[in-house]
Amino acid sequence: MRSKRIFHTVESHTEGMPTRVVTGGVGTLPGATMEERRQWFIAHSDHLRRLLMFEPRGHSAMSGAILQPATRPDADWGVVYIEVSGCLPMCGHGTIGVATVLVETGMVEVTEPVTTIRLDTPAGLVVCEVAVRDGAAEAVTIRNVPAYTDRLDAKVDVPGWGAVTYDLAYGGNFYAIVDAGQLGLRVDVAQKDQLLAAGLAVMDAINAADAPVHPENPEINVCHHVQLVDPGSDARHSRHAMAIHPGWFDRSPCGTGTSARMAQLFTRGELPLDTDFVNESLIGSRFVGRLVGESSVGNLPAVIPTVTGRAWLTGTAQYFLDPADPFPEGFLL
């Protein structure tokens, strides 16, 4: 056996969406903050993301997280989030997966009935409350970074679809929120091809016409997620298909997307604080969200979201890079 690199991982899925947690083989990334480490990784080591996320080691909807030492004294671990679409500031389903992996592999001190894990992420500090019974993580509630509404009732001309009305909110990433009904669609697996085509077209049109920029971090400046909401969804129970760049669906209900959706509903006066909100994915899996307070992002009003979901470990792995491998950075079809 020959290999110029070896990566150690713990595999998991959160409500159907994979999180490949990289526990060894990358080393500590340069940077005084996790956002600096993320930017360094994008500039110098993005080939590792492609190697681990793309085929043949991954697939077109792969997602993962690289464990790092924390850069701040109030955090237990640092995380850099990776997926086929890029290196994210924050990932909700990935955080639930990371917290579950840390508990069930003993990489944090475990206490029952609740183990608290503080994660240093590029988007800020994220606190995880892990419900533990008999050493197993039964559910994870993450207290996410502040979420806010960027715009309401915006319009964009989308080639092939005409004028589309959308809201845009931030929950760790930017999300365009679109009523699928205005596109003549329902959130149904049978319409997945049309939903994905519509979501990607809306995404491209927004980024071309009026790309969002985070008021405190100008490096967060693109919309790579479109939440296509099923007609009849409301502030108690919403169903959606999450189209993601460059062309796939989130299998989970999406933690940062749930946070953004709650911020949008709060701004519209439809979702009050301390009220459960059920968010359902295209495959029927669910997160339960709740807004627990108000805050601000720059000079914009914001809310503090929590999201509760479940993750399961599916295995461990070692990935090699043979020096003669013709696809040292993988490939996507």
Give catalytic residues, as residue numbers. Answer: 91, 254
For residue 259, what are the β-bridge partners?
Answer: none
Residue with tokens 């590029």: 122
- Single-letter amino acid code for the residue at 12: S
Whether 148 and 298 have beta carbons less than 8 Å apart is answered as: no
Distance separating alpha carbons of residues 161 and 157, to the nearest angstrom: 8
Pairing of strands 63-68, 136-143: unpaired
Structure tokens at 44: 């110098």
Residue with tokens 């933690």: 255
Name the burial class of residue 22, with classes exposed (0-12), middle (13-18) and buried (19+) by CB atoms within 10 angstroms of its CB: buried
Residue with tokens 């713990």: 10
Whether 122 and 82 have beta carbons less than 8 Å apart is answered as: no
Distance separating alpha carbons of residues 14 and 311, to the nearest angstrom: 4
Decide: helix, strand or coil at residue 10.
Answer: strand
Name the burial class of residue 243, with classes exposed (0-12), middle (13-18) and buried (19+) by CB atoms within 10 angstroms of its CB: buried
Kind and range of the H or E element at 308?
A: strand 300-309
Decide: helix, strand or coil at residue 193.
Answer: helix
- Single-letter amino acid code for the residue at 194: Q
